[in-house]
């Protein structure tokens, strides 16, 4: 059904010199420092995200170790708060977002038939400032008084008047992360809008490209608002302004409005590309076209638009007029309609397909089930009167870990398993992958499911010690946490083996049902692809 366009490796030696990023892969560390190749940068992003996932995960292990039993045993409360804060920041800005950017770098040009990202030098920059941002953030933990301890949501005035001096470093590092994401997003948008192969109309683009395009627009819309929020925190703390200080006529609740105006679209920034990934994987292993492609696109766009008018559902307890509470409750409930459409479409894609259950499909199915659980608890959280009970308890923690760990993170793992053979040219170690899947699946539920119970029973979030009635479940949660953490080491071994090119060689198509431009180029994908654009019909 498709003829393969591949650019033989020797054609671009002739091109060499006409464009300075067209050279083969040089060796050594400088290759990685100076690279402008989208595949190299994708690899860098993915490795960085994985390392940050392990660092942030190590912090989660500290948190779970402290919460293993009641009483204070391992860390003091101040350090505990730093752990929860930095765990959140690292997982959001250091693991999930860079992983998606890495996948976009690898896949978007290959999926739309472009030779590289539109702005390769900026691409290099947007990656390489990221490690510095996190070095700054992590180094603040070792300063006197410690790093940020006010939660990743850094509510004023805890983060302004009442915070330590390391707040300046926190603000600086968030600024750098923001600049990096904005540059990445601009690159994705320009690439998708300007560099599609002839015939690749917008409505022919793979869903992953669509969801990333919409995500990138969300990023450039809200990352600057985050930058404004941290700037205000900085000036409030160090330069005597009073945006959030009642004494000077400010209002601490305003901080939450500004933060969540960024924060809610941010939630969708972390889940829309996941929707895209699942929409690539499910059709492949169902051997059937994605059900309702157009409605998927519209659903994604409407989720993105709605995400701008629901922010205050994070702040129902701050004391809002009842009219505002109603508005934000209804708007939030509305988001479940397009989200539901997506889930139904995936199920309909599987329905009467010809299903096989390779590792990416196993992760995708786990995603659909567990993300839906997270989505349903999100629907419960939208109901204002009940949210007064759920708010700031472990029920919320359970909810957002279901959507972010078994949602976003599982989708990233699914994506890695799906495209890894294309990247390396070898099939990964399937036995290890099965171990990784089943260990992760079981432990992640032992970890997060009981959190619903302790939350409903009344355990507040972000506490280093708890009342005795929460003890049994917390023990299980911690055991699940350690098991989930250890399971990821299997993944590490698997990835290292794959990067050393161990394993059986794979075909160009890799998976029997796979369709799309990236499956029509050789495996492993050559360093340069689509130097001459393919024509899509």
Partner 1 sequence: MAVEETNSDNQKDAGDMPTNTQRPNHAKTVGKLVFVVVAMFGFGFALVPLYEVFCELTGINGKTSDTAAVYEPIEIDKTRTITVDFITRTNTGMPWEFKAVTKRVEINPGELSEVAFYVRNPASRDIIAQAIPSVSPGQAALYVNKTECFCFRHQPLKSGEEAVMPMVFYIDPQLPEDINYFTLQYTLYDITERVDEPVDVAMNSIQGR
Partner 2 sequence: MDISGEKSVKSLKAVMGLLTLCVPFFSFAQSAAERSDLNLRRGVTDISDQVYGLHMLMFWICVVIAVIVFGVMFIAMLKHRKSKGHAPANFHENVKVEIAWTVVPFIILIVMAVPAASTLMDMEDVSKPDLSIEVTGSQWKWHYKYMDREVEFFSLLASQREQIENKFPKGENYLLEVDRPLVIPTGQKVRFLITSDDVIHSWWVPDFAVKKDANPGFINEAWTRVNEPGVYRGQCAELCGKDHGFMPIVVIAKEPAEFDRWIDEQERIAQEKRAEEERLLAMNMSKEELMASGEQIYNSVCAACHQPSGEGLPGAFPALKGSAFILNDRQGHIDVVVNGRAGTAMQAFSKQLSMSEIAAVVTYTRNAWGNNTDDLVQAKDVNDLIQGK
Active site residues: 87, 116, 152, 180-181, 264, 266, 268, 279, 313-314, 339, 342, 461
Residue 265 lies near partner 1 (rule: CB under 8 A): no
Residue 360 lies near partner 2 (rule: CB under 8 A): no
Tokens encoding 168: 């300046």
Query: Distance between CA atoms of 142 and 352, rounded to whole angstroms?
Result: 56
Neighbours of 241 (CB within 10 A): 17
Q: To the nearest whole angstrom, how small is the minimum distance from the Cβ of residue 120 to partner 2?
A: 36
Query: Distance between CA atoms of 132 and 33, rounded to whole angstroms?
Result: 13
Select the span of 42-50, 284-292, 436-444, 517-525 touching partner 2 (CB under 8 A): 284-292
Residue 465 lies near partner 2 (rule: CB under 8 A): yes
Residue 135 lies near partner 2 (rule: CB under 8 A): no
Query: Distance between CA atoms of 356 and 353, rounded to whole angstroms?
Result: 9
Residue 158 lies near partner 1 (rule: CB under 8 A): no
The residues facing 393 across adjacent strands are: 460
Residue 346 lies near partner 1 (rule: CB under 8 A): no
Residue 150 lies near partner 2 (rule: CB under 8 A): yes
Which is nearer to partner 1, 116 or 429 (by Cβ)? 116
The binder of 134, among partner 2, partner 1, none, by C-beta within 5 to 8 A per type, is: none
Residue 534 lies near partner 1 (rule: CB under 8 A): yes
Considering only residues 195 through 224, tell me which ones interact with partner 1, judged by CB under 8 A. Answer: 195-199, 204, 220-224
Alpha carbon 117 to its chain centroid, in Å, reads 20
How would you class 431 by CB atoms within 10 Å of its CB: exposed for 0-12, middle for 13-18, buried for 19 or more? exposed
Q: To the nearest whole angstrom, how small is the minimum distance from the Cβ of residue 43 to partner 1?
A: 21
The binder of 446, among partner 1, partner 2, none, by C-beta within 5 to 8 A per type, is: none
* DSSP 8-state symbol, 35: -
Q: Binding residue for partner 2 (CB under 8 A) from 388, 438, 493, 496? A: 388
Residue 379: which residues within 8 A CB-CB, separation 6 or more? Answer: 333, 336
Q: To the nearest whole angstrom, how small is the minimum distance from the Cβ of residue 403 to partner 2?
A: 14
Q: Would you say 190 and 119 are in contact if contact means Cβ atoms under 8 Å apart? A: yes
Q: Binding residue for partner 1 (CB under 8 A) from 240, 294, 352, 431? A: 240
Considering only residues 509 through 528, tell me which ones interact with partner 1, judged by CB under 8 A. Answer: 515-517, 520
Considering only residues 31 through 70, tell me which ones interact with partner 2, judged by CB under 8 A. Answer: 70
Select the span of 72-80, 227-235, 437-445, 448-456 touching partner 1 (CB under 8 A): 227-235
Q: To the nearest whole angstrom, how small is the minimum distance from the Cβ of residue 289 to partner 1?
A: 10
Q: To the nearest whole angstrom, how small is the minimum distance from the Cβ of residue 168 to partner 2?
A: 13
The binder of 464, among partner 1, partner 2, none, by C-beta within 5 to 8 A per type, is: partner 2
Query: Distance between CA atoms of 192 and 446, rounded to whole angstroms?
Result: 40
Residue 532 lies near partner 2 (rule: CB under 8 A): no
Query: Distance between CA atoms of 189 and 118, rounded to whole angstroms?
Result: 9
Residues counted in the chain: 537
Q: Binding residue for partner 2 (CB under 8 A) from 11, 13, 139, 356? A: 356
Residue 460 lies near partner 2 (rule: CB under 8 A): yes
Q: Binding residue for partner 2 (CB under 8 A) from 380, 489, 496, 535? A: 380
Q: Binding residue for partner 2 (CB under 8 A) from 22, 64, 87, 288? A: 288
| 398 half-sphere exposure, CB direction, 13 A CA radius | 29
Place of tokens 């479409």: 345
Residue 155 lies near partner 2 (rule: CB under 8 A): yes
Query: Distance between CA atoms of 499 and 425, rounded to whole angstroms?
Result: 10
Query: Distance between CA atoms of 99 and 411, rounded to whole angstroms?
Result: 10
Angle between the N-to-C axes of helices 471-499 and 410-424, in degrees from 0 to 180, rounded to the nearest 10: 10
* DSSP 8-state symbol, 426: B
Q: To the nearest whole angstrom, how small is the minimum distance from the Cβ of residue 423 to partner 1?
A: 20
C-alpha distances out from residue 232 to 131, 152, 159, 226, 243, Å: 24, 16, 11, 10, 7
Considering only residues 212 through 271, tell me which ones interact with partner 2, judged by CB under 8 A. Answer: 245-247, 251-253
Query: Distance between CA atoms of 399 and 493, rounded to whole angstroms?
Result: 30
Residue 186 lies near partner 1 (rule: CB under 8 A): yes
Place of tokens 């006197």: 144
Considering only residues 156 through 195, tell me which ones interact with partner 2, judged by CB under 8 A. Answer: 157-158, 161-162, 164-166
How would you class 459 by CB atoms within 10 Å of its CB: exposed for 0-12, middle for 13-18, buried for 19 or more? buried
Residue 76: which residues within 8 A CB-CB, separation 6 or more? Answer: none
Q: Binding residue for partner 1 (CB under 8 A) from 225, 301, 427, 442? A: 225
Alpha carbon 359 to its chain centroid, in Å, reads 20
How would you class 495 by CB atoms within 10 Å of its CB: exposed for 0-12, middle for 13-18, buried for 19 or more? buried
Residue of 470, 464, 338, 467 whose CA lies nearest to 395: 470
C-alpha distances out from residue 82 to 73, 149, 378, 459, Å: 16, 4, 26, 20
The binder of 356, among partner 1, partner 2, none, by C-beta within 5 to 8 A per type, is: partner 2
Residue 8 lies near partner 1 (rule: CB under 8 A): no
Considering only residues 52 through 111, tell me which ones interact with partner 1, judged by CB under 8 A. Answer: none
Q: To the nearest whole angstrom, how small is the minimum distance from the Cβ of residue 534 to partner 1?
A: 4
Residue 9 lies near partner 1 (rule: CB under 8 A): no
Q: To the nearest whole angstrom, how small is the minimum distance from the Cβ of residue 342 to partner 2?
A: 11
Residue 326 lies near partner 2 (rule: CB under 8 A): yes
Q: To the nearest whole angstrom, how small is the minimum distance from the Cβ of residue 223 to partner 1?
A: 8
Select the span of 29-37, 96-104, 128-136, 382-390 touching partner 2 (CB under 8 A): 382-390
Contacts to partner 1 by CB under 8 A: 1-5, 113-116, 118-119, 182, 185-186, 189-190, 193-199, 204, 220-229, 231-232, 240, 243, 246-249, 251, 253-254, 257-258, 261-262, 319-321, 323-324, 515-517, 520, 532-537
């Amino acid at each position: 059904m498709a003829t393969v366009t591949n650019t033989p490796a020797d054609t671009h030696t002739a091109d060499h010199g006409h464009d300075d990023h067209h050279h083969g892969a040089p060796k050594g560390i400088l290759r990685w420092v100076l690279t402008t190749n989208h595949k190299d940068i994708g690899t860098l992003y993915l490795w960085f995200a994985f390392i940050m996932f392990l660092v942030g995960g190590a912090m989660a292990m500290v948190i779970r170790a402290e919460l293993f039993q009641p009483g204070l045993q391992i860390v003091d409360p101040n350090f505990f708060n730093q752990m929860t804060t930095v765990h959140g920041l690292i997982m959001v800005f250091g693991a999930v977002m860079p992983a998606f950017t890495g996948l976009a770098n690898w896949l978007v040009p290959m999926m739309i038939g472009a030779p590289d990202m539109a702005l390769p030098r900026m691409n290099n920059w947007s990656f390489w400032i990221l490690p510095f941002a996190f070095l700054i953030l992590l180094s603040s933990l070792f300063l006197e008084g410690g790093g940020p301890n006010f939660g990743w949501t850094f509510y004023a005035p805890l983060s302004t008047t009442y915070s330590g001096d390391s707040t300046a470093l926190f603000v600086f590092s968030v600024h750098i992360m923001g600049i990096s994401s904005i540059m990445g997003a601009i690159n994705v948008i320009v690439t998708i809008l300007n560099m599609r192969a002839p015939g690749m109309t917008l409505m022919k683009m793979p869903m992953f490209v669509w969801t990333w395009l919409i995500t990138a627009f969300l990023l450039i819309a809200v990352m600057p608002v985050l930058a404004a929020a941290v700037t205000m925190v900085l000036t409030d703390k160090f330069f005597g302004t009073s945006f959030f200080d009642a004494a000077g006529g400010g209002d601490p609740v305003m901080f939450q409005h500004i933060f969540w105006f960024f924060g809610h679209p941010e939630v969708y920034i972390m889940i829309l590309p996941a929707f895209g990934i699942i929409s690539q994987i499910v059709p492949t292993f169902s051997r059937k076209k994605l059900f309702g492609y157009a409605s998927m696109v519209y659903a994604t766009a409407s989720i993105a638009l709605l995400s701008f008018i629901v922010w205050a559902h994070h702040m129902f307890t701050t004391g809002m007029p009842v009219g505002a509470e109603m508005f934000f409750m209804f708007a939030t409930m509305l988001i479940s309609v397009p989200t539901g459409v997506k889930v139904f479409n995936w199920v309909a894609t599987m329905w009467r397909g010809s299903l096989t259950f390779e590792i990416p499909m196993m992760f995708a199915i786990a995603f659909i089930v567990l993300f839906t659980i997270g989505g349903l608890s999100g629907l419960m959280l939208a109901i204002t009167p009940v949210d007064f009970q759920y708010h700031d308890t472990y029920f919320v923690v359970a909810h957002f870990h279901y959507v972010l760990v078994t949602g976003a993170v599982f989708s990233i793992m699914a994506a890695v398993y799906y495209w890894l053979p294309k990247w390396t040219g070898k099939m990964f170690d399937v036995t290890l992958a099965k171990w990784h899947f089943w260990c992760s699946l079981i432990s992640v539920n032992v970890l997060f499911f009981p959190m619903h119970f302790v939350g409903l029973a009344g355990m507040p979030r972000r506490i280093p010690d708890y009342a005795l009635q929460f003890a049994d479940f917390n023990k299980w949660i911690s055991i699940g946490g350690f098991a989930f953490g250890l399971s990821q080491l299997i993944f590490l071994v698997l990835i290292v083996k794959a990067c050393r090119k161990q394993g059986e060689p794979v075909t160009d198509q890799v998976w029997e049902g796979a369709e799309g431009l990236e499956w029509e180029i050789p495996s492993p994908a050559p360093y340069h692809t689509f130097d001459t654009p393919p024509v899509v019909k």
